[in-house]
Amino acid sequence: METVFAGNRIGGRLLRCLGLFSMIVLGVGVAQGQTVEEKLAALEARIQQLESELAATQGTETRVAAVEQSVAEIEESADFEGLSFFNGVRFSGMLDTYYGYDFNQPGSRTLDTRAFAVSHNSLALNLIELDIAKDASESDPLGYHLTFGYGLTSDIVNSGDPGTTGDNLFQYYLSGMFPGTGGLTIDVGKFVTQHGAEVIESSPNWNYTRGILFTWAIPFYHFGIRTT
């Protein structure tokens, strides 16, 4: 009795599983409404589409890799050593305007005791300055300095120069540092004087106008050789 009962239970379970599997297969076939051949054809079409997309992607990656390799070859073959001359270059500038009024009301409308701000009762362009500099160092022993100015200050600073050549250049010189000498530097060219407590530009000074000792006692610049 126990053997027959166990066999009946196993047989009933098999029948129920077969019935459930048949219902699933029948439901899938009805829901999709496609034969096996149609499903295989759809799968083959999808596979071909994916293969085409993969081939296109691989072609793009190949082209990108070729472009990157070409750029790398160009960078390796190009000579950019000449551009090192501009490494460490500093650019700076300033704009200086003012309005001046003298209660003595000079008839010439100028102030003789001033260095640069000499205009009376007028708005004046004192200075537009552009400065380009590269300091000499142990690693890069060649340097240079160029200062360009425009305005009343530039005209006054260069008023003693013969002719008009270089009227807008405050300084232009080359610098060379000798290795192994503890920083010995030689400048050759035109450079602003290092003497005095005031300078040509208004902004670094304590007062906007310069003192008599600056105006009459020291030169604005030197031309020649300077060692530091």
pLDDT digits (tens, 9 = 90+) for 130-139: 999 999 888 8
Structure confidence at residue 53 (pLDDT) = 77
Average pLDDT of span 194-204: 90
Return the higher-pLDDT residue of 178 and 109. Answer: 178
Structure confidence at residue 76 (pLDDT) = 65
What share of the chain has pLDDT > 90, as a percent?
26
Q: Tell me, rounded to whole angstroms, the distance of Cα 47 from its chain centroid.
A: 50
pLDDT value at 10 more than 80? no
pLDDT value at 30 more than 50? no
Average pLDDT of span 167-183: 88
SS3 for the chain is CHHHHHHHHHHHHHHHHHHHHHHHHHHHHHHHCCCHHHHHHHHHHHHHHHHHHHHHHHHHHHHHHHHHHHHHHHHHHCCCHHHHHHCCCEEEEEEEEEEECCCCCCCCCECCCCCCCCECCEEEEEEEEEEEEECCCCCCCEEEEEEEEECHHHHHHCCCCCCCCCCCEEEEEEEEECCCCCCCEEEEEEEECCCCCCCCCCCCCCCCCCCHHHHHHCCCEEEEEEEC
Burial label for 23, CB within 10 Å (0-12, 13-18, 19+), is exposed
Task: Place 3 in a pLDDT band, splitting at 50, 70 and 90.
Answer: very low
Average pLDDT of span 203-225: 90
Structure confidence at residue 25 (pLDDT) = 47
Average pLDDT of span 68-91: 69
- Of 45-59, 71-85, 94-108, 173-187, minimum mean pLDDT range: 71-85
Structure confidence at residue 134 (pLDDT) = 92
Return the higher-pLDDT residue of 131 and 181. Answer: 131
- Of 47-56, 156-165, 184-193, minimum mean pLDDT range: 156-165
Return the higher-pLDDT residue of 22 and 113. Answer: 113
Strand order of the β-sheet with 221-227 is 90-100, 122-134, 142-150, 169-177, 185-192, 221-227
Using an 8 Å Cβ cutoff, are 191 and 199 in contact?
Answer: no
Average pLDDT of span 182-186: 89
Structure confidence at residue 15 (pLDDT) = 53
Average pLDDT of span 163-169: 68
What share of the chain has pLDDT > 70, as a percent?
75
Using an 8 Å Cβ cutoff, are 153 and 96 in contact?
Answer: yes
